[in-house]
Structure formats: C-alpha cells, structure tokens
Amino acid sequence: MAIDQATVRKIASLARIAISDADAAAMEGELNGILGWVEQLGEVDVTGVEPMTAVIPNKLRLRDDVIDADPLTGGNRRDDILANAPAAQHGFFGVPKVIE
C-alpha cells in the first residue's frame, strides 16, 4: 500500500527525526519504491511456518547474580558513563527541562 506525505511525517515523528516538507516529499517516493518492492514477500506461502527466532541453534544463557563481576558490565564507573555527555552536571545527565 502506498504511503502519503502525512504518513511520512508521522513515521518521522515516531522515529524522532525532524523532517522538512521537501525531505518528506522526496522520501515519499523513496519509501514507496522500497515498500512496493518488499511487498512481494506477501506472495510467499508461509502456512505453518514459524517466524525465525534464533538463526543458529543456540540457548539463551543466564548470568549469575553477582555485582560488578566484570567491570565491563558492572557499575561504579560514573566518570566513564558521563565522559562523553553533552551536558553532565553534579553526576547527572542534563536534558532540557521536562514537564510531566
């Protein structure tokens, strides 16, 4: 099904990507081209076929409940967490004020 510019803008809003009217117009054509092409999948008979869950047979492993066992996946590294922050203050990340 073809999408219109209003849909393009709605998707852009869901994806949090600001989009100009010109870009929305250009993207309308591109997205319709791609979506029209992938829609050929609809012709495949998938009766009784399960969606792929694991591409290679493998079991989900569970981790032991241990704090900071590996520094790469543990806490207590605030400096590293905040090192690249655009606005870090008093140990927090700063964002424009949110009104809930």
Partner 1 sequence: MTELTNLTVAQIRDGHRAGDFSAVEVAEAFNANVAGAKALNAFIVETPEHAIAAAKQADADRAAGTLKPLSGVPIGMKDLFATNGVQTTAASHMLEGFVPRYESTVSQKLWDAGCGMLGKLNLDQFAMGSSNETSYFGNVISPWKRKDGGNAALAPGGSSGGSSSAIAARLCPAATGTDTGGSIRQPAAFTGISGIKPTYGRCSRWGIVAFASSLDQAGPMARDVRDCAIMLENMAGFDPKDATSLDMAVPNWEAALSSDLKGKTVGIPKEYRLEGIDPEIDAMWDAGIAMLKDAGAAVVEISLPHTKYALPTYYIIAPAEASSNLARYDGVRYGLRDLPEGAGLQDMYAATRADGFGPEVKRRIMIGTYVLSAGFYDAYYTQAQKVRTLIARDFEAAFGSCDVILAPTAPSAAFGLGEKMADPLAMYLNDVFAVPASLAGLPAMSVPAALNREGLPLGLQIIGKAFDEQGVLNAGLAIEERAGFTARAEKWW
Partner 2 sequence: MSDYRIKGETGEWEVVIGLEVHAQVTSNAKLFSGAATAFGAEPNTQVSLVDAAMPGMLPVPNRECIRQAVRTGMAIEAQINKWSRFDRKNYFYADLPQGYQISQLYHPLVGEGSLTIAADEKAGIPSDKVIGIERIHVEQDAGKLMHDQHPTMSYVDLNRSGVALMEIVSRPDMRSPAEAGAYVRKLRSILRYVGSCDGNMEEGSMRADVNVSVRKPGDEFGTRTETKNVNSVRFVMAVIEGEAKRQVELIESGGTVVQETRLYDPDRNETRSMRSKEDAHDYRYFPDPDLLPLELEDAFLDECRASLPELPDAKRARYLSEGISAYNADVLTAEVEAARWFDALLEAGAKPVAAANWVTSELFGALNRMGRDISDSPVSPAQAAELLGLVADGTISGTIAKQVFEKMLETGDGAAAIVDREGLKQTSDTGAIEAEIAKVLAANADKVEQYKGGKEALFGFFVGQTMKAMQGKANPQVVNELLKKALG
Phi, psi of 82 (to 5 degrees): -95, -5
> Nearest distance from residue 51's CB to partner 1, in Å?
3
DSSP 68: T
Binding string to partner 2 for residues 10 to 29, with x set by CB under 8 A, is what? Answer: ---xx-x-------------
Phi, psi of 19 (to 5 degrees): -140, 135
> Nearest distance from residue 22's CB to partner 2, in Å?
24
Q: Is 98 in the site for partner 1 (CB under 8 A)?
A: yes
Q: Is 4 in the site for partner 1 (CB under 8 A)?
A: no
CB proximity list for 53: less than 8 A, separation 6 or greater: none
> Nearest distance from residue 17's CB to partner 1, in Å?
5
Phi, psi of 88 (to 5 degrees): -105, 130
Binding string to partner 2 for residues 51 to 70, with x set by CB under 8 A, is what? Answer: --xx---xxxxxxxxxxxxx
